[in-house]
Structure 1
Amino acid sequence: MDYVHCIVLSACMRNLIQFVFTCFIIISTCFYVAAQPQERINLQLKWYHQFQFAGYYAAHIKKFYEKEGLDVHFIEGGDQKSVLREVTQGHADFGITGSDILYNYIEGSPVVVTSVIFQHSPYTFMTLKKSGIRSPLNLYKRKVMASGDQGWFLLRSLFFREGIPPDSIKLMKHSWNNQDLIDEKVDAISAYSTVEPFQLKKKGYEVYLISPRDYGLDFYGDLIFTSKRYAENNADVVEAFNRASIKGWEYALAHKEEMITYILGLPGVKERNITREHLEFEANETENLIYSNLVEIGHINTGRFQNMLDMYKELKIVPASASIDGLVFEKKEINWEKISYTIILIAVFVAALFSVIFIWNRRLVKIVNKKTKELKDEVENRKIAEEIARQNELKLKLAIKGANIGLWEWDVYTQEFTISKQWCFLLGLDFFSLPIRKNIFDFIHPQDIPILKKSLKTNFAGIRRLSMHQLRLLNSNGDEIHVLISFRVIKTEVKKGRKLYGVVVNIDNIKKQESSLLQLSEELMHSNKELKKFAYITSHNLRAPVVNIVALMSMFEKKELTENNVQIFEKLDASVTKLNDTLNDLIEIVSNSRKDLPKLDTVNFKCVFEDICRSINLEIERINPSIILDFKTQDFKYTRSYLESIFLNMLTNAIKYRDKERKLTIHISTYEDDRYVYLKVSDNGIGMDLKKNGQRLFELYQRFEPSIQGKGIGLFLVKSQVESLSGKLFVNSELGVGTTFTIAFLKEL
């Protein structure tokens, strides 16, 4: 009775303490919440009412703002209203804008970003599909309609990334009227991917979107900001507004249809011919931009703002000293001094309660553990052991059956050979009528018997314990079956007695697939050779007519043409020249790839280098670089023309991409190890950003400095030539420091 009484009394005491503590917390919380007044907040929207702002509507109608002590009022935006000006002048407390706020901040606007909602920018260039405009390069000297404060910096960065001068684009002020694109008054317009594409599709027009994200520019989209003064004076309100807004967006994305119905009832929505279908499209596209399945809503990555700033610096639209420090709102630290007295009281109260509980329970735990431990441990351990054994047995049976594995056992002394049902099924035998005594060699293909006998001899001699072989068995019809046989030899009590325990796995399908893959590989290699031959013939056949056209156009007298025809002639001349250059590049690339078995000679690094220097002597004398040579390895077996091409491209690249602020220095050295001969070429040029461009460095037609003349095929050819003879190419580069190329030539060719 004392034991039971202790347990019951302990449980009552514990429940009573928990109830008192819970009531204390609830009353304190209610008193704190009830004491907070409602804070009026004016939120300036970026545009007219649409699903773009569904999260804020949800936070309002679901009382998320109210629970945070906020009374939020929405101010509708438009094409004539500046969100930045409304917030900085105090007409609104918070605003919704895009990543262009970074430029405004650098220019001196006192703003602070509090949350990022759209992890990806919706800004894109929209063109009519029939126009054929598919990439930024197609916009060269085209009419583009965009707004200076609506994603223009992102779109301008796209032109810079693709090497298109901004002044080559005919920029027109945005009319916010899609009809201008339909009427072909402009060739492209900046648009919101969540709205305008659907509007044109509903009118029957097919459109094409040129998204900066497809070209490596991933700026932020919609974000929440406030003025610096407001954030400093109302940090608690900023945090409360963020929390409620994020909850609102989580609710809106989970209840799209409910929010669409609400938005359709807002003033002016139906008057702008916005339908449920429009809003459903916008809702789905908005969810993709928010990216909530991978990134927490509201998350800010300062590294992405830094990347945007670096791009602005490259565009030279902000000073080199510009910084993002202070742009992102920092949560205020809890002022423990204000609540220290309350914490001390609660700590003393809780400590007293837990002291009583600890002393009381310590005695009870000892009693209970002593009475129950032995019995509980015994029962639990027995159950666990039985369950593990049952599961292991079931898993083993399922594994053997599912893997199509046969088991076998052979007593060499008694010549008794037994096999499992799975083995019989594999060979098409009747398990129940199978003779007990049967030699294992009766199942093996005659040509593979020597392999097994040799392995048995080795195992009986004690050299090996576990053996595995690919053999062929003969089924009941005499057909071959490829199997993998594994066995272990065990000594028995009988003198010189041996027993073999093993498994057999059917790999017949794998062998058949292997044969099919080999045949397919040969067919693909043949097709590849034919395609190379076709490309070579086609490029050579096209070159003669193009050369003739170039010659004829050089003989043409442009003075006899009208001004309009002169412009047409110049465009035609530029197109023919571009085609001729492309054919020359193609011939060079195809010619290089057609050398199936390049001739190998003993080549001397220094001799080849001096020959190349003589071929570009004028360029070297003009630049007058400092060239330092260290040929520890002099001669090796290689294709001379390949080595000449490598030296030529390495030297000309070092000259083209030199730093004009200092004298060019080129270090060239060779060395070797047991397997490779290495050529190392280093310079102190302008260097490269390998994090940004490393993946595309050796691709065809890749150029990363638009201001420097080049074709973008040199490194492609070098990599192709090196790898065609089983070599390797490595690059290490740093902006403003220089570049080092290391080439490893395989010795045994």
Structure 2
Amino acid sequence: MKKLFLPVVAASALILSACGTADTPSTPAPGASGALTPIKLQLQWFYQAQFAGYIAAVDQGFYKEQGLDVQLLEGGVDIVPQTVLATGKADYAVAWVPKALASREQGAGITDVGQIFARSGTYQVAWKDSGITKAADLKGKKVGNWGFGNEFELFAGMTKAGLDPGKDVTLVQQQFDMQALLKKEIDAAQAMSYNEYAQLLEATNPATGKLYTPEDFSILDWKTEGSSMLQDAVWANTEKLNDPAYQQQTVKFLAGTIKGWAYCRDNAEKCRDLVVAKGSKLGKSHQLWQMNEVNKLVWPSTAGVGLINEADWKQTVDLSMTTKNQTGDTVLTKQPEGLAYTNDYIQQALNQAKTAGVDINGAAFQPQTVTLTAGGA
């Protein structure tokens, strides 16, 4: 078997092989006997507006309306959400699709049941005067990336541009911030549109004494480069999806989730405040920026929020099978087998939400103009 990009994924597979033979308990019917069904959702990262829809669904009682008592499990550097789910330590998980598919190929029994982010938010950012305006311009440059499976779109963009990540660029392990770019230790840095890119615009330009502006940087957006992959999705336990009670619970969980994201679309400031109150270490202006940018990745949703687009899924899988890392290995070695994704439960949840008067498309959504402050305070 080919090596995967991430040691952490390989380690996760060992956990799966040790724990995957345990019997899966039957899921009680949600709301049976008037009691709330306890649910654990494993998030992909620390509390921030990336997960505002789930936070709002808990805070506003949208999950309780469905008979669910949802506990959010905060993520972190050493937490692999799909492994937490596959080993039975959570009922659902939020994870990027290529990362999760890599885990599936190694034995994780998980299924994408709700594609909340319809668009990728990954950038590669360089200084304007660097001359880097497209993926091919990275040749011969010092290119930062976080690893941990976050680099797949970068490698896909370089592969598409005819570059060999192992020979044509100098790869630099980047911290989860933009300091290496600001100090000009690297030529291009990985950034999420909703997080690290804002960190650049919250930093002071020593030449002017004012904050940097978008005009100071050039952005490689993998959506326009044609190498974007699907990101935040809700994953369920594949084996448990054979249980009618878990199926029903999944529909209810997704219905509450849809309402949470619709609420954050229409109440960005309130959701910003919920995230800050949840304990995020990022400031209020930064979180409002993040809420606004995350909403752009979700809305508008022509077919309905969370519905998996087959063409986008195919692009993600195709890129995962053809994109090479620095050692020439690919994310996936073959097409995903079994129930990798299904629209069955999200469609039921969308129908329910629409009947209840929830705007599931957000056709009128217009992003705000957010003013960032120094340090994102």
Which bracket does the TM-score occupy, shorter chain normalised? 0.7 to 0.9
Partner of 2:308: 300
Q: CA deviation at 1:263?
A: 1.7
Residue 217 (structure 1) aligns with: 227
Change (3 A) 1:324 1:156: farther
Query: Contact conserved, 2:56 with 2:263, CA < 8 A, in 1?
Result: yes
Where structure 1 has 5 or more consecutive residues not aligned to the other structure, the ranges are 1-31, 333-749
Q: Residue 274 of structure 2: which of 240, 256, 262 is its match? A: 262
- Structure 1: distance between partners of 2:256 and 2:237: 19
Q: Deviations over 1:628-659 (max 9, x none)?
A: xxxxxxxxxxxxxxxxxxxxxxxxxxxxxxxx
Cα deviation, residue 330, structure 1: 5.7
State percent identity of aligned pairs.
Answer: 24
Report the counterpart of residue 126 of structure 1 in structure 2: 125
For 1:266, the aligned partner's letter is: K
Equivalent residues of 2:101, 2:332 under 8 A apart: no
What secondary structure is seen at the aligned counterpart in 2 of 1:310?
Answer: helix
Amino acid of the residue matched to residue 239 of structure 1? V
Instruction: Pick closer, same or farther for the CA change 1:310–1:155 going to 2, 3 Å.
Output: same
What do residues 554-613 of structure 1 show as CA deviations (whole Å, max 9, x unaligned)?
A: xxxxxxxxxxxxxxxxxxxxxxxxxxxxxxxxxxxxxxxxxxxxxxxxxxxxxxxxxxxx
Give the structure 1 partner of residue 148 of structure 2.
Answer: 149
State the one-letter code of the partner of 2:80.
Answer: S
Q: Does 1:281 align with 2:289?
A: yes
Counterpart check, 1:140 vs 2:159: no
CA distance in 2, matches of 1:246, 1:323: 27
SS at match of 1:299: coil
Structure 2 stretches lacking a partner, 5+ long: 1-29, 204-210, 324-328, 346-377
Contact 1:102 1:305 in 2 (8 A): no
Helix, strand or coil: the match of 2:97?
coil
Identify the match of residue 249 of structure 1 among 261, 265, 269: 261
Please, which of 91, 94, 102 is the counterpart of residue 93 of structure 1?
A: 91
Residues 1:67 and 1:217: Cα distance change in structure 2 (over 3 Å): same
**Letter of the 1:65 counterpart:** Y
1:129-208 correspondence runs (5 A): 129-167=128-166, 168-203=168-203, 204-205=211-212, 206-208=216-218
Deviation at 1:187, TM superposition (A): 1.7
1:275 Cα deviation after fit: 2.3
Q: Deviations over 1:437-460 (max 9, x none)?
A: xxxxxxxxxxxxxxxxxxxxxxxx
Alpha-carbon distance change, 89 to 242 in structure 1, aligned in 2, over 3 angstroms: same
From the two aligned structures, give the one with the greater helix fraction: 1
* Larger gyration radius, structure 1 or structure 2: 1
Take 1:80 and 1:186, find their aligned partners in 2: how far apart are those partners? 25
Q: Does 1:114 align with 2:122?
A: no
| Cα distance in structure 2, aligned partners of 1:297 and 1:106 | 27
Which letter maps to 1:281?
W
| TM-score in terms of structure 1 length | 0.38
Match of 2:360 in 1: none
Deviation string for 1:304-331 (max 9, x for gaps)? Answer: 2222222333336267652454101363
Aligned residue pairs total: 297
1:77 aligns with 2:85: no
TM-score by length of 2: 0.73
Describe the shift of the 1:279–1:319 C-alpha distance in structure 2 as closer, same or farther (beyond 3 A): closer
RMSD across aligned positions (CA): 2.2
Distance 1:277 1:310, change over 3 A: same
Change (3 A) 1:126 1:150: farther
1:17-56 deviation line (CA, Å, top 9, x unaligned): xxxxxxxxxxxxxxx9673431111111111111111111
Q: Residues 324 and 157 from structure 1, CA distance in 2 versus in 1: closer, same or farther, beyond 3 angstroms?
A: farther
1:59 aligned residue: 57
Higher RCO (C-alpha 8 Å, min separation 6): 2
Greater share of residues in strand:
1
Query: 1:429-468 alignment to 2 at 5 Å?
Result: none
Partner Cα separation in structure 2 for residue 221 and residue 126 of structure 1:
19
2:342 alignment partner in structure 1 = 329
